[in-house]
Amino acid sequence: MNTKRITDTFREACHIADEHGERLAAEGEICWGGMHSWKRMVQLLEAVDRPKTLGFQADMAHTLLFTLGYNAPEDRLLPEQFDWSRRDRLEQSLGLLTSALRPWTVDLHIAQNDATVKGSGSHDKTGRHCLPNDPVGKLNIVKDSGYWMHDPKGEPNRAVQHICWDECMFSNSVMTDQRTWRDILATMVAVREAHGWD
């Protein structure tokens, strides 16, 4: 019932966007019903069936949590109590996830995540963003951004118009620290250079 309501709402939003020459992007976040797993996200986009108007906004911090299935254990790609030293398993799951969502992706947020969540309940958990150099971050930001920025043949896919850093969930003191922005900009430059972005 709720997925049908979201689908109908998104279709209506697509009608409005079309009238104004705009394109929409739905951000997959594990705490949002109907978008709480990578499979549910794909199902929703397919149900709306407006690929020229509605796409997916990939945020690397949120999509990492898709692999862990916090709010959708049936769709998890990594086992409970995952051993983070198994980089091969992580890369395999990121490859599967991005293969499903990359064709829909129109916006990309570069981000880091420590793979922990806050909140409770069946669909209330949400993740925490980390700063790019946080030692508890689980992503290799530069390498893992490539799953979104390349097509299956390894060529830059140019599906997104711009990339940005998602800097939500931080205190004002962190946001006003010059070091924060030096680290973020250095990471973004490294992403750009690694994946042929100009």
- Nearest CA to 28 out of 53, 50, 54 is that of 54
Q: Contact 109/57 with Cβ under 8 angstroms?
A: yes
Mean pLDDT (the chain, rounded): 91
Q: What is the pLDDT of residue 124?
A: 74
The predicted-structure confidence for 102-129, as pLDDT tens digits, reads as follows 999 999 999 999 999 887 666 678 888 8
AA identity, residue 187: T
Reported pTM: 0.91
More confident residue, 46 or 123: 46
Q: What is the pLDDT of residue 120?
A: 66
E-strand ranges in 5-149 read 24-27, 54-59, 105-110, 112-118, 126-130
* Segment holding 164, helix H or strand E: strand 163-165
